[in-house]
Amino acid sequence: LEAARHCAADGELTLRDRITALVAATLASRRLGDDREAARLLEEALGLAEPHRAYRPFLDMGGDVHSAIAILVPPASPAAGFAARVREHLISRPLAKPPDAASGGRDTPTLTASELSVLRLLRSHLTNQEIADALYLSVNTVKTHLRAVYHKLGVSSRREAVDRGRRLRML
């Protein structure tokens, strides 16, 4: 954690490296139970990133960043607007590698865009209500999408859905 804070303060690092270090320190602070420090670090990272539209450092850190933003950035925060755009990018980013025949492309279930968005948010350990808030859906709609995802992937839990989604290169 101290190394990440030091790197973030180092003036010789690139902007991307400074933001990445702040995000890493944010996640470390959350894991250590210091949400106040995590919120401060996240606000600093968002503040640095916004003028440059630097989404990539947040996207590269994955679902834990989505959860941190959802929980730590209040709607009244000056960084809330950019934080919302980061969350939209996290939800809607394209697949890194599309499934192909060698990985079972024909056997890959087809999820709707909404189902895929819900599946992607499962990685961040958000509750159904938090997923609903992030996607501007009702909690019942999220539950419906979850049932469809479970059925299409042939699983019965969130963890199994995430694991299967990764194996199928959906995540």
Give me the domain span that covers residue 131: 101-167
DSSP-assigned states of every residue in 131-143:
HHHHHT--HHHHH
The structural domain count of the chain equals 2
What are the phi and psi torsion angles at 162 (to 5°)?
Answer: -65, -45
In this structure, the answer to whether residues 9 and 79 fall within a common structural domain is yes
DSSP-assigned states of every residue in 71-129:
HHS-TTSTTHHHHHHHHHHHHHPPPSS---GGGTGGGSPPPPHHHHHHHHHHTTT--HH
In this structure, the answer to whether residues 54 and 33 fall within a common structural domain is yes
Q: What value does the mean pLDDT take over residues 105-131?
A: 83
* Mean of per-residue pLDDT scores for the chain: 84
5 C-beta neighbours (distance < 10 Å), count: 17
Three-point CA angle 151, 63, 74, nearest 5°: 115
pLDDT one-digit tens code per residue, 126-165: 899 988 888 888 999 999 999 999 999 999 999 999 999 9
| Domain end call among 92, 117, 147 | 92
CATH of the domain at 144: 1.10.10.10
Percentage, residues of the chain above pLDDT 70: 84
| Nearest one of 76, 74, 73, 77 to 65, comparing CA atoms | 73
pLDDT one-digit tens code per residue, 9-19: 556 789 999 99
Percentage, residues of the chain above pLDDT 90: 44
In this structure, the answer to whether residues 22 and 52 fall within a common structural domain is yes
| Domain end call among 92, 113, 130 | 92
pLDDT at 34: 93
pTM listed for this prediction: 0.58
pLDDT at 24: 93
